[in-house]
Structure 1
Amino acid sequence: MELLVDFLTRFVTQFQTPALAFLVGGMALAAFGSKLEIPDAIYKFAVFMLLMRIGINGGMEIREANLMEMLLPAVFSAVLGCGIVFLGRITLANLPGVKVEDGIATAGLFGAVSASTLAAAMVILEEEGVVYEAWVPALYPFMDIPALVLAIVLANIYLNRKKDGANTRVKIWPIITESLRGSALSALLLGLALGLLTRPDRVFEGFYDPLFRGLLSVLMLIMGMEAYTRLNELRKVAHWYVVYGVAAPLVHGLMAFGLGYIAHLVTGFSPGGVILLAVLAGSSSDISGPPTLRAAIPTANPSSYIGSSTSIGTPVAIAVGIPLYIALGQAVFGF
């Protein structure tokens, strides 16, 4: 009962945090037909800055960290990315009215990671005073790449079998390289490399870090406007996508919380790290995933996988998931 009360308190309070407030504000503007437009160049710049800040900070911390402590969380991240896709393949992709390739693509997007959700969770944890290892955001590619690769492989195997009635080899390496070339992962990996191999402390403290929260609020505003716009597209596909968009982020996040707790017992993984791992798993890709899936699974309907992710999955992951995992962390770890 105490956990429920704490969650409800945090859920209400969450609407006062800048991240969610700007997300809801963007949805409200779109609902009232506002003509406000934020140029795509600003959106891309905000995403780049956020990921560079996360990457540089993570790289600097990895430089000082015990890599063995990262090993188990990194393995769990890859397991979660793949597990989420497999779970979507045997559930969503087999439901009435859902095309198999659409269901797999949706599962791939939910197995991948949302940079905006991750950034929002980091800010909220810092405001709550919850400590986490600064290298935890570097788990992003360990979950993101396996999920996208597996979704593309499963979809192509299904489509090839449907077309030819036989197994056809799917080349995995081109999929991996295409994922790595995506704008989100490229920025994050560049930041990691710079933080790990150089001494970017001054530019980090004087430029990237001070702008982080302001740019996150702009990104949340854009995400809110797009989320409402995508609702119209979601009405054109099976209602199961709405159910999946609501349930999947929470189920995936709780799975990750359980694995994170195991890592906590084995390696001393921090409570904040466990919460961030749950946030990573509960998020769905909003930057690198959609263009990757559009190119690799052209027969899949973007209205299904992008609509369920952007209009349902992301708001649920931020508004419900983050306060849920923090409340659960408080109940389990007593911080």
Structure 2
Amino acid sequence: MDILFTIGATLIEQLQKPTLAFLIAGMMLAALGSKFEIPEPVYKFIVILLLLKVGMGAGISIRDADFVSLMVPALGAGMLGILIVFLGSKTLVRMRGVAEVDALATVGMFGAVSASTLAAGMAMLNDSAIPYEGYIGALYPFMDIAALVTAIVLAKLSTARRTASNVTITAGGAAALGGQPGRTSGEDTRQMVQGILVDTFRSPAISALVAGLCLGILAKPDTVFDSFYEPLFRGLLSILMLIMGMEAWSRFGELRKVAHSYILYGITAPIIHGLLGFGVGMIAHQLTGFSEGGVILLAVMAASSSDISGPPTIRAALPEANSSAYVGTSTGLGTPVAILSIPLFMALAEIMI
């Protein structure tokens, strides 16, 4: 009974948080037939500001961290983000009736990191007097960017393979797709992947994220970050979620027939991903003396799903993906399960370290 009460309380708490509350508000507006809308140029401006802020904050954290101590767990975090996406591409993507682009957008969100879940993990460790590295917050961009880029590339590659049988490189160096669906040669596939990678990193969403990251690491944007980006961030994110809620409602019907697949994934994936993160943390512990608290928080990051950088990045890079699927599954299911799993990782660490 206590477990059910805890789950219920956590779900209610998530519903009251701005990310999910504004998403639901947008769905209600659309359901009532409201004429409310945000002009597309305003939406794009909001996305760029959000991603610049996320990248800059991550870059500042990396700049202030001990680089040598950071590298082993950082590489582990990046590999985890990629592994989670590939694991999802072999599970959720293959479930009957699930659209591939929707599934890849969802697993990209699960490969990325929830800042709020990470903060909850830190608070629980502080309450239990379990120490952890001061640079731990600098690990999340490695997992975040690796997962989002991998998911976007896989989704675009899948779309390209469905619509073209060969790729030609124009005089300007761009990849041109043409022909009928069919098999492609190894050279065609290599050129296709290369073209999609270039296109992904040139896209506004990833470009803004990477630009912010580089500014945070190489420059000193702390003043403008604290005075401009930080105060605006939560308000702009709430507007974005309102927009995505309206879009989600308009496409909710597409999800009804396969909702059980997303429910199953949303409940089981955080535990599996968290255990993978715990394993990588144990390897870092053996190699570098990575702390018990660090191992737990790496597991928490792997278990979490993005609530900040993921939605605008996926929305900008894969506009055809159904936001009902990837936001609903990650924020509505993945986040509560990830938070409830934190005591599990703490117990495992106590046993093994």
Relative to the length of structure 1, the TM-score reads 0.78
* SS class of match (2:220): coil
Contact between 1:182 and 1:292, CA under 8 Å: does it hold in 2? yes
**2:101 alignment counterpart:** 105
2:72 to 59, 68, 71: 68
- Alpha-carbon deviations, 1:255-283, whole Å to 9, x = none? 32121222333334354443333334799
Residue type of the alignment partner of 1:26: G
- Which shifted more, 77-86 or 192-201? 77-86
- Is the CA contact (8 Å cut-off) linking 1:111 and 1:281 kept in structure 2? no
Residue 279 of structure 1: which of 301, 304, 311 is its match? 304
* Matches of 1:259 and 1:104, distance apart in 2: 24
Structure 2 counterpart of 1:12: 12
The match for 2:277 is 260
Q: For 1:153 and 1:329, locate their aligned partners in 2 and report how far apart those are by CA, in whole Å.
A: 35
Q: How far off its partner does 1:10 sit? A: 0.8
- 1:299 corresponds to which residue? none
Q: TM-score, normalised by structure 2?
A: 0.74
Correspondence for 1:149: 153
**Contact persistence 2:89–2:107 (CA under 8 A):** yes
Of residues 215, 224, 230 in structure 2, which corresponds to 1:194?
A: 215
Letter in 1 for 2:220: R
* Residue 313 (structure 1) aligned to one of 315, 319, 326: 326
Tell me, yes or no, if the aligned pair for 1:57 and 1:134 is still in contact at 8 Å: no
Q: Does the CA-based 8 Å contact 1:251-1:282 persist in structure 2?
A: no
SS in 2 for 1:133: helix
Amino acid aligned to 1:5: F
Instruction: Give runs of aligned pairs for residues 241-260 of structure 1, distance below 5 A.
Output: 242-260=259-277
Matched to 1:133, the amino acid is G
- Counterpart contact for 2:80–2:302, Cα < 8 Å: no
Q: Give the Cα separation in 1 of the matches to 2:145 and 2:33.
A: 37
Q: Distance in 2 between the 1:128 and 1:255 partners? A: 17
Does the 8 Å contact 1:59/1:196 carry over to 2? yes
Deviations 1:209-238 (A, max 9, x none): 111111111112112111111124557xxx
Compare CA radii of gyration and give the structure with the larger one. 2
Deviation at 1:289, TM superposition (A): 4.6
Cα displacement (A) at 1:207: 1.0
Query: Conserved in 2, the CA contact under 8 Å of 1:27 and 1:225?
Result: yes
Instruction: Compute the displacement of 1:290 (Å).
Output: 6.3
Letter in 2 for 1:122: A
Residue segments in structure 2 that go unaligned for 5+ positions in a row: 126-135, 167-179, 285-290
Question: Quick check: 1:54 aligned with 2:36?
Answer: no
Compare 175-184 and 252-261 and name the one that shifted more: 252-261
Structure 1: stretches of 5+ with no match in the other structure: 295-301
What is the one-letter code of the residue matched to 2:55? G
Give the whole-Å Cα distance in 2 for the aligned partners of 1:312 and 1:158: 22
Partner secondary structure for residue 48 of structure 2: helix
Residue 225 (structure 2) pairs with residue 204 (structure 1) = yes
Structure 2 residue 229 is the aligned partner of structure 1 residue 229:
no
Aligned pair in 2 of structure 1 residues 127, 217: CA closer, same or farther (>3 Å)? Answer: farther
Q: Give the 3-state SS of the residue equivalent to 2:223 in structure 1.
A: helix
Aligned equivalents of 2:29 and 2:38: distance in 1?
A: 12
Q: Comparing 145-154 with 53-62, which one deviates more in the overlay?
A: 145-154
Cα distance between partner residues in 2 of 1:259 and 1:283: 22
- Within 2, Cα distance between the matches of 1:61 and 1:291? 25
CA distance in 2, matches of 1:198, 1:45: 23
Q: What percent identity do the matched residue pairs reach?
A: 28
Aligned-pair Cα RMSD in Å: 3.4
Q: Quote how far apart the aligned CAs of 1:326 are.
A: 0.8
* Paired position in structure 2 for 1:297: none
1:45 has 2:45 as partner: yes
Q: Deviations over 1:129-172 (max 9, x none)?
A: 64851440342221122233334445655774995567563121
Amino acid at match of 2:225: F
Higher alpha-carbon deviation: 268-277 or 138-147 = 268-277
C-alpha distance 135-208 of structure 1, shift in aligned 2 (>3 A): farther
- Asked whether the 8 Å contact 1:284–1:313 carries over to 2, the reply is no
Question: Cα gap change, 1:228/1:277 in structure 2, threshold over 3 Å: closer, same or farther?
Answer: same
The equivalent of 2:173 in structure 1 is: none
Question: Residues 146, 204 of structure 1: CA spacing in aligned structure 2 closer, same or farther, 3 A cutoff?
Answer: same
